[in-house]
Amino acid sequence: MPRRPFVAGNWKMFMTVAESRHMVSELVPGLQAYVSVERVICPPFTALMAVKDLLEGTDIGLGAQNMHWEISGAFTGEVSPLMIAEMCSYIILGHSERRMYFGEDDQSVNRKVKAALAHGLIPIICVGETLEERDAGRTHAVVEKQVKAAFEGLQGHLGSEHASLVVVAYEPVWAIGTGRPSTVEGAAEVILKVIRPTLTKIFGKEFAEAVRVLYGGSINAQNAVEFFSHEQIDGGLVGGASLKPAEFQLIVQAASNSISSSK
């Protein structure tokens, strides 16, 4: 079965509640036309409830940008999967900014992935190498390690029928927010030669072929058509461009158009 395109907008630490309401009011009318694409908006925690209310009655999904793996406890400043699941269906996990600035490692990402699945959340699991790792020729080794670690302990628990409940985002760290995206060929090679084979070893070929794998890293309306036209790239995790309603709509449109292309 063909994989349904998936585009998520990661607003990062931008947008007050008022700004989020205004943004969603601009976004929703344009996004509703692209029903062939799974569209997700990931605002900051403070705006989740306001955005949830505005998305009621649409098929546009809501996601959070992070969570703790425990369901409750003395973890000041954290939010639990139970709290997220009250509002959201999706959760971004393992983003490079979380790894870089907040000390997240492969083990914590794995614990969060397990918690997300246990509470009915669809994890968008981010993997990718730094510039230093890329220049050292370690891209494949680093990404393989991150994928293995993210799914550690889930062997036997996820079959091909669960593939739609997991999303992987390949985000080379050196391309995020730099205006220097990976090449389409470079991103597709990592997906084809590392991510899907690693998932095959863990869960089998049917699961690996069914999982959506996104590209993220300076994706915009100009390069989205090229990225999404490749058969290995199932959509995007979009950062800065998701804060511009017209541009984000064009990115979603590109994902929709990819269905009827040679892909």
Q: Is 230 a catalytic residue?
A: no
Q: Is 95 a catalytic residue?
A: yes
Q: What are 216's two structure tokens?
A: 């993220």
Q: What are 155's two structure tokens?
A: 């062997």
Question: Which of the following is catalytic: 68, 95, 104, 230?
Answer: 95
d(CA 89, CA 9) in angstroms, rounded, equals 14
In the chain, DSSP finds a helix count (H) and a strand count (E) of 12, 8
- 3-state secondary structure at position 113: helix
Question: Which of the following is catalytic: 97, 129, 144, 171?
Answer: 171
Amino acid at 85: A
Strands 38-42 and 61-64: parallel
d(CA 117, CA 69) in angstroms, rounded, equals 11
Q: What are 63's two structure tokens?
A: 């996601």
Active site (catalytic) residues: 95, 171
